[in-house]
Structure 1
Amino acid sequence: MERRKSLWSGLLGAMLLLAGTATAHPHAWIDLRVSLLFDDDGQLHALRQEWAFDPSYSQLLLEDMDAAEPGLDMDTALRMMAARMLGNLREYDYFTEIRRNERQLETAEAREGELLWRQQRLHLRFELPLEPVRPDRARPLRYRVYDPSYWIEILHDPGDVIHIEGAQGCDSRLERARPAGWLVAYAATLNRNQRAPVEDLGRAFAEQVSIQCDTSEP
């Protein structure tokens, strides 16, 4: 099976329970909120993420869950969907790339996962544990969150900020993606059943966040 089709059909089809209806809505978007969690020693130890799925996609997810498991109460349905989403995302590092000095860090298993229904949207929350580290100005930590196939666009919520919890002297800087014009035009032509020859296409459209701290702070 072609890699791009396999990624979407195998991962997102199973993850989002949309094997039957995904062709009607092949491109969705997510508002991303991130909190950087520091411990008492001033070291970053986790990234807490919240993904807010767009209203139309959220409704489709609920309708497909109801069709697959009729009669479930909302709380049970949300628990089942959260477990399945995170279970399938594990193979793809939860769509999260974390680097320091250009070395990609391993992604641990997510914890404290939950799915909420708020303001007509589904919100997936989880934490990614990190080996404790204090990123300094010379060696910042950088992360990207993106769907490799770019069927789902993931961008930081423009109405929110990147939260830093438990640290002084640390800040974050968000860099917008600057994909080449030809790549933007090319991505717009793809449909669900086409294989993109561009490996890891979504990375070209992903925002990058740099996290750095003053070494003088504890």
Structure 2
Amino acid sequence: MTIYYSLTFMLLISEMVTFCVIVAPLPHAVRKRFFRFLSESPLVAKLAYGVKIAFIFVAILFVDAFQRMLRVTAEADVAKGGGAGMQDVRTETNFASRKFYSQRNTYLTGFCLFLSLVLTRTFYILLDLVHTQEEYAKLKQETAKSSRGQIASQDQAKQVEELKKKLAAAEEKTRDYDIVKKQAEQNAKEYDRLASELNAVNGDLSDKRKD
């Protein structure tokens, strides 16, 4: 295997490891920190830029390997059709090995490109999931605070209603007291009037007795 296909194989292994790491069942706090580091770190951004350039070369290798596979397959078919060229075992082995290597390189580069697309899409889906979970947690906290505020406001409303009832009862008692007070004053005035009249009558009787 040549050096560039060896590097492609190493890139494929790194993609597989990265995919296993990001889809692993990590705790929410660890996953949030990990994805925040991957999405906000400048070092990761530079590394991702270099990997994108590497994938451009992998795409070129894929096109070259695919064309070579088609060419080797066509040459093998022509050789089989001729019949005379395929009598030699070395020639047949040479065609078989060339076909195998061309297919291997095609599948290697193709699967590397395909896994890069899957890895990128999976990363952004999980990143959106982390953001959605954060927004859900914030919304849940705000809802809990608002519900507590509503409960507190309901309690305050109940207290206000109770105070209004107590105030109304106190006002009724005050009105009853005023009524009783007025009645007492009227009774006192009436008593004074009757006492004055009684005193006047008693005074007249005493004057008549003296006469």
Pick the TM interval, shorter chain: under 0.3
Instruction: Flag the structure with higher strand content.
Output: 1
Q: TM-score, normalised by structure 2?
A: 0.22
Q: TM-score, normalised by structure 1?
A: 0.22
Instruction: Flag the structure with higher helix content.
Output: 2
Q: Which has more radius of gyration?
A: 2
